Structure formats: C-alpha cells, structure tokens
Amino acid sequence: MVRLIVLLLVVSLGCKMVFGRWPWDYLRPQSTRAQALFRARQLLGVSKGADHREVIEAHRRLIAMIHPDRGGTNDQVHEANAARDLLLGELPDRS
C-alpha cells in the first residue's frame, strides 16, 4: 500500500515537472471561452499562435467557400465572422 502511494506521488510530481500541470488538472473540463476559441481556430483552420494576418487570410478563404452566392448559408457566414472576431479579440492590440 505504501509503495502504491509513493508511486502515485512520483508519477504526479513527474507529470507536474514534464507537462506543467498536475494529473488531476486534466480531469477538469475546459472553460467555455477556451472551448469557443478552440472551435474558432478549428473552423478557420489556424494554429494557436496565429497572428492578425493569418486570421484574416483564413477568414477570407473560408468566406470564399461558404458565401451564399456559392451555395453556403447566411448562418455559416455569421459563424465564420464570429470566429474571426473572437480570435482577433484575443490578439494583443496592434499599435
């Protein structure tokens, strides 16, 4: 029993040192904002470190495919615009 506790302690500390998070942190669900950002990045096809130019270019490519004149719907356009606005709002101000 003591060996199991020591093993769990060592594994927990190793996880904290390697990944920077405790093992039980992975069990907590993501916040709603983090989920929205993940979905927006996935929709536009940009990485987590995308800059202003990359977000705008990805939005333009997506709009070209889903525009109502090309068979898309207004809802798809609104979703793409919301994703763009959310990601641009997360970027630091460009001065």
The domains of the chain are located at 1-29, 31-95
15 neighbors 23 (Cβ within 8 angstroms): yes
User: Does position 28 have pLDDT exceeding 90, yes or no?
Assistant: no
Reported as a single tens digit per residue, the pLDDT across 48-89 is 989 999 999 999 999 999 999 999 999 999 999 999 999 999
Pick the CATH number of 31-95 from 3.40.50.300, 1.20.140.10, 3.30.420.40, 1.10.287.110: 1.10.287.110
Q: Report d(CA 85, CA 43) in Å as an integer.
A: 13
